[in-house]
């Protein structure tokens, strides 16, 4: 009997304890720069996923896939993600040319106090966007998305041997994560060749 009561108390405590539901997403296209599991993990640590537990150095957390997708500058690139665990919020797509240090910091977040601690309310959306951000405030949603999220984003007309395309997910109504705070991250490595019929976009590093 005592064992049964103890199990009930433990179960009740687990139910009543603060719960922070983590959102997750997989990067389906272009192919991810690191290995992802069925939920898209590891994805908390900025700028490109991973966690401090599996980091192999600040520039390369997680297990690299070694995939570099080819793209044409000044053209559309198809981006596709699948949200595997729901949370309200929106996405941002950015591009670095020479180094991942060029990627923008996670968006500034407005917080509120709750009985579970600080929770996210909203995040700053860049409008209009400027390099290195390509799109911000993408796929805003307040309910579960059953289908994959897809869009075509226009790449700058540049040349780069190994650019980094970052997809960052801001999560509203979320507690602070040890890694990533209120943002999850995935990246894809791109080799972009400029379209010779179009002018080079000199707003981006190293372009003439």
Q: Between 165 and 7, whose confidence is greater?
A: 165
Most confident of the ranges 19-33, 37-51, 73-87, 156-170: 156-170
Give residue-wise pLDDT tens across range 44-69: 888 998 766 654 544 446 788 999 99
Is it the case that residue 23 has pLDDT exceeding 50? yes
Q: Supply the pLDDT for residue 54.
A: 56
Q: What are phi and psi of 131, to 5 degrees?
A: -55, 135
Q: How confident is the model at residue 143 (pLDDT cuts 50, 70, 90)?
A: confident
Q: How confident is the model at residue 141 (pLDDT cuts 50, 70, 90)?
A: confident
* Three-state secondary structure call for residue 152: strand
Q: Where do the domains of the chain lie, and which CATH numbers do they carry? A: 20-193 (2.70.50)
Q: Supply the pLDDT for residue 171.
A: 83
For the segment 28-41, the average pLDDT, to the nearest whole number, is: 87
What are 78's two structure tokens? 């198809």
* Torsion angle (degrees, nearest 10) of CA 102, 120, 152, 196: -10
Q: Supply the pLDDT for residue 53.
A: 63
Q: What are phi and psi of 102, to 5 degrees?
A: -75, -20
Give residue-wise pLDDT tens across range 183-205: 999 999 999 999 999 999 999 99
By percentage, how much of the chain surpasses pLDDT 70? 83
Q: Supply the pLDDT for residue 16.
A: 31
Q: How far apart are CA 207 and CA 25, in angstroms?
A: 33
Q: How far apart are CA 12 and CA 9, in angstroms?
A: 5
Mean of all residue pLDDT scores within the chain: 83
Q: What are phi and psi of 8, to 5 degrees?
A: -65, -45
Q: Between 178 and 146, whose confidence is greater?
A: 178
């Amino acid at each position: 009997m005592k064992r049964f009561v103890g199990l009930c108390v433990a179960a009740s405590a687990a139910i009543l304890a603060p719960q922070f539901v983590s959102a997750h997403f997989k990067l389906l296209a272009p192919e991810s720069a690191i290995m992802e599991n069925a939920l898209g993990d590891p994805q908390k640590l900025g700028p490109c996923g991973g966690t401090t537990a599996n980091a192999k150095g600040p520039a390369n957390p997680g297990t690299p896939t070694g995939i570099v997708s080819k793209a044409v500058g000044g053209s559309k690139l198809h981006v596709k993600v699948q949200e595997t665990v729901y949370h309200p919020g929106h996405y941002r797509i950015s591009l670095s040319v020479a180094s991942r240090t060029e990627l923008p910091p996670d968006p500034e977040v407005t917080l509120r106090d709750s009985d579970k601690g600080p929770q996210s309310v909203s995040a700053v959306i860049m409008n209009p966007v400027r390099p290195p951000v390509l799109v911000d405030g993408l796929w805003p949603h307040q309910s579960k998305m059953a289908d994959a999220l897809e869009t075509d984003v226009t790449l700058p007309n540049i040349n780069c041997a190994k650019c980094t395309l970052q997809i960052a997910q801001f999560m509203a109504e979320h507690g602070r994560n040890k890694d990533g705070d209120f943002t999850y991250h995935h990246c894809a490595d791109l080799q972009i060749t400029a379209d010779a019929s179009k002018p080079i976009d000199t707003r981006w590093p190293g372009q003439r």
